[in-house]
Amino acid sequence: MSDPNSPSRFNEDKAAYTVRGGSDAPDLEAGVAAIRNVLATLPVRPGVYRMQDARGDVLYVGKARALKNRVANYTQVSRLSKRLQRMVSQTRSMTIVTTNNEAEALLLEAQLIKRYRPPYNVLLRDDKSFPFILLRADHDFPRIQKHRGARRAKGNYYGPFASAGSVTQTLNALQKLFLLRSCTDSFFKTRDRPCLLHQIKRCSAPCVGRIDEAGYAELVGDAKDFLAGKSTKVQAKLGEQMTAAAENMDFELAAVLRDRLKALTFIQGSQAINADGVGDADVFALACKEGTIGIQAFFIRGGQNWGHRSFFPQHTSDVPEEEVLASFLMQFYEEVPPPRNVFVDRELAEAELLGEALAERAGHKVTLSVPQRGPRRRLLEQATRNAVEALDRRNAESTTQAKLLREVADLFELPEPPDRIEVYDNSHIQGTAALGAMVVAGPEGFRKGQYRKFNIRNKDTVPGDDFGMMREVFARRFARAQAEDPDRDSGEWPDLVLIDGGRGQLNAAREVLEDLGIEDVCLVGVAKGPNHGREGREVFHLMDGREFTLPVNAPVLFYLQRLRDEVHRFAIGAHRQKRAKAMGASPLDEVPGIGPARKKALLMHFGTAKAVRGASLADLQKAPGVSAAVAQQVYDFYHAR
């Protein structure tokens, strides 16, 4: 029968049909019979086959140059590995899709593996979308920003980057060098004075006319050159401009250009990976230990290092390493546009076919190769070392805390286990003694020396408004972080932020970060759920609108509950201290020079603070322990205003 799931882009000159046979119970003979039933109708042409169990669930997706020949191999049971014999024993039907050529079959195979995630295919577990840098082209003063997902906005996309951290590093570089704005268009329109980014020399402030359209366009052009790998050209241009400014006695401009030149020189010298002369390339190296396979990927664009990431594919037992790498590459490039060069650490049997398939997807020639010498070989060797080290670290992570942090990373789609988690909560009683609290946790546990309290002091914050309080807390915390540590070198920028509250609190925090131009901090709201009194029913709210709960006995849930309970404890304790202090406060506290002893003496003599305020100078002087000078000071405080 026709296959309604076959992708529309492979609908030319091919057929799809399903053939069933055999019994429902797992049985090797029944599986072989089902496959032989399919063989009778198979053509000798390229295509993709899906093996399905009795319920119709996909067990395996494969491609073939000649479908009949490839599927026939599964009937020769004695030549199959134990893994494939188990697969055949569960097979009760097959769906066949013919294609025009083998390259199309390879593309379709990767697409179907991603869709069905079959248990007998090698799976790319970490298939989250990669971040890009977007230089928009829909505004007179283009905005530069981080981007994930579909490319609907008009502009230039640069990537992929290995992680949000890699994007942030490059965005910081671009802001230092080219002073491009990162704020939203709505924020841009409402400005009447420069923001903090201009004050710390990260933006040219086009919103208030500090630079004209032509000057800003020149900065945009320089940024495009830099992202295209023409950093030497940018460096020469900045040097010439600085020299000309100095000769014209415009020392203020010369100083600005000098700072930009120093920033560029620092970035060029801080590249952890030397990729000079490599151009655009992805580098992949595979390591295998103790039955686990790790793949290290380096992303090089324009000779610049855009980060690296470790991957640990699933379902790799009894699968040759070359096959694992080839399957990984096709799944990896299902979402990521391939560069012109892909460097791998071993020869792949179907390297030419892989290149042909990736070229069809990319729209330009793609070459897979194993570098033998020069900077490309050194780059590959560095990737290989990183692959081995990453695999060793993963295998060594046997402690409960390390496992929990890895589960947290998987749960919230972080590129790696978080090193710093910040948790926020508010505490007040009907708006009084209001404060925000932040606790910090990491691999070693709670970092109590880094806990912080935020007294709610903004007059525009309505008493009891939890959303407004959260906005004030986040504005103060992250505006200060931007001012004091814009390069994020101190290690005090969070990898994950948990907010005690639901969608409202999460949106309030996100709005603040967007206004500050911060888009790479992962925010998660933790709400109590429909049954507030029951532990384990917490609802986790993500920034993209998703929400979910966890099994009540999940270890990662217990860990997140401990984080939430700790910020509760700290916030409530700080609130009680503040409230107790307010309850014990006296109007006499406002009088300068009046310590606890004299305050007590005045209250014991007059009875109340109101009586002290209404007393004459002579009466104040009669109070025991109060000198004439102190009496005059108290009298003047209340009567000389």
Whether 18 and 28 have beta carbons less than 8 Å apart is answered as no
Same-domain status, 568 and 432: yes
What confidence category does residue 585 fall into, taking pLDDT thresholds of 50, 70 and 90?
Answer: low
Query: Could you tell me what percent of the chain has a pLDDT over 90?
Result: 36
pTM of the entire predicted model: 0.61
Amino acid at 98: T
Cα dihedral sign for 493, 497, 500, 501?
Answer: positive
User: Does residue 81 belong to any structural domain of this protein?
Assistant: yes
Residue 631: which CATH number? 1.10.150.20
Residue 549 and residue 415 share a domain: yes
CATH of the domain at 36: 3.40.1440.10
Q: Quick one: tokens of 540?
A: 């986790």
What does 129-166 look like in DSSP terms, one character per residue?
PPPEEEEE-SSSS--EEEE-S---SSEEEE---SSHHH
Position 16 in a domain = yes
Which residue, among 422, 536, 416, has the nearest Cα to 470 in the 3D structure? Answer: 422
Check pLDDT > 60 for residue 427: yes
Residue 624's Cα: distance from chain center in Å? 66
- Is 125 a member of any domain? no
The size of the chain, in residues, is 641
Q: Are 103 and 143 in a shared domain?
A: no
List the structure tokens of 504. Answer: 């409202």
One domain for residues 69 and 218: no
**Is the same domain home to 314 and 418?**
no
Q: Are 298 and 326 in contact (CB under 8 A)?
A: no
Contact 56, 79 (CB under 8 A): no
> Is 404 a member of any domain?
no
Query: For residue 460, is it within any domain?
Result: yes
Q: Rounded distance, CA 606 to CA 603, Å? A: 5
Please choose, from the candidates 455, 469, 456, 423, the residue with its C-alpha nearest in 3D space to the C-alpha of residue 565.
423
3-state DSSP assignment of residue 194: coil
Q: How far is CA 250 from the centre of its chain?
A: 42
pLDDT in the model for residue 578 = 63
Q: Do 165 and 290 belong together in one domain?
A: no
- Helix or strand (DSSP H, E) at 426: strand 421-429
Assign 581 a pLDDT band (cuts: 50, 70, 90). Answer: low
Predicted local confidence at residue 24, as pLDDT: 55
What CATH code is carried by the domain that includes residue 388? 3.30.420.340
The residue ranges of DSSP E strands in 451-572, in sequence order, are 452-455, 496-500, 522-527, 539-542, 547-548
- The pLDDT-based confidence of 19 (bands split at 50, 70, 90) is low
pLDDT at position 4: 38
Q: What does the pLDDT look like over 90-112, one tens digit per residue?
A: 999 999 999 999 999 999 999 99
What is the spatial distance between Cα 211 and Cα 566, in angstroms, rounded to a whole number?
Answer: 48
Reported as a single tens digit per residue, the pLDDT across 618-629 is: 888 888 878 888
**Angle at the Cα of 216 from the Cα atoms of 212 and 221, rounded to 5 degrees:** 150
Of 396, 428, 457, the last residue of a domain is 396
Residue 1 domain-assigned?
Answer: no
Q: Are strands 341-344 and 281-289 parallel, antiparallel or unpaired?
A: parallel
Given 541, 564, 582, which residue is the final one in a domain?
582
The residue among 295, 285, 302, 289 whose CA lies nearest residue 379 is 285
Mean pLDDT value of segment 445-467 = 83
Over residues 215-231, the mean pLDDT reads 81
pLDDT-based confidence at 524, cuts 50/70/90? very high
* Mean pLDDT, residues 46-59: 93
Residues 236-282 pLDDT 10s: 777 787 888 788 887 777 777 777 777 666 555 445 555 667 778 99
Task: Please choose, from the candidates 573, 608, 569, the residue with its C-alpha nearest in 3D space to the C-alpha of residue 588.
Answer: 608
pLDDT band at 14 (very low <50, low <70, confident <90, very high): very low
Tokens at 506, concatenated: 């999460």
Residue 295's pLDDT is: 94
Domain shared by 434 and 552, yes or no? yes
Percentage of the chain beyond pLDDT 70 is 87
Q: Are residues 568 and 595 in the same domain?
A: no
User: Using only C-alpha atoms, what is the Rg of the chain?
Assistant: 32
What CA–CA distance (Å, rounded) separates 587 from 248? 62
C-alpha 297, offset from chain centre: 17
Residue 403 covered by a domain: no
- Residue 527 CA to residue 537 CA, distance in Å, equals 9
Same domain, 560 and 415: yes
Structural domain range at position 450? 411-582
Task: Say how far residue 136 (Cα) sits from the centre of its chain.
Answer: 21
Secondary structure (DSSP) of 16-75: EEEEE-S-SS--HHHHHHHHHHHHTT--SS-EEEEEE-TT--EEEEEEESSHHHHHHGGG
Query: How much is the average pLDDT of 131-142?
Result: 90
The torsion defined by the Cα of 424, 428, 432 and 435, in degrees rounded to 10, comes to: -20
> How many other CB atoms are found less than 10 A from the CB of residue 530?
9
What is the number of domains present in the chain?
5
Is residue 353 within 8 Å of 109, Cβ to Cβ? no
* pLDDT confidence band for 172 (50 / 70 / 90): confident
CB 309 within 8 A of CB 410: no
Domain membership of residue 124 (yes or no) is no
Average pLDDT over residues 562-583: 78
- Residue type present at position 33: A
- Asked if residue 416 lies in contact with residue 409, where contact means CB atoms within 8 angstroms, the answer is yes
Domain boundary among 89, 116, 143: 116
Question: Both 243 and 308 in a single domain?
Answer: no
417 and 384 fall within a common domain: no
Q: What is the mean pLDDT of the chain?
A: 83
Helix (H, G, I), strand (E, B) or coil at 271: coil
pLDDT at 531 exceeding the cut of 60: no
Only one residue has tokens 């406060």, namely 585
Q: What whole-number distance in Å separates Cα of residue 226 and Cα of residue 322?
A: 36
Phi, psi for residue 214 in degrees, rounded to 5: -65, -45
Is 503 in the same domain as 537? Answer: yes
- Please name every residue paired with 452 in a beta bridge, in sequence order, or none if there are none: 438
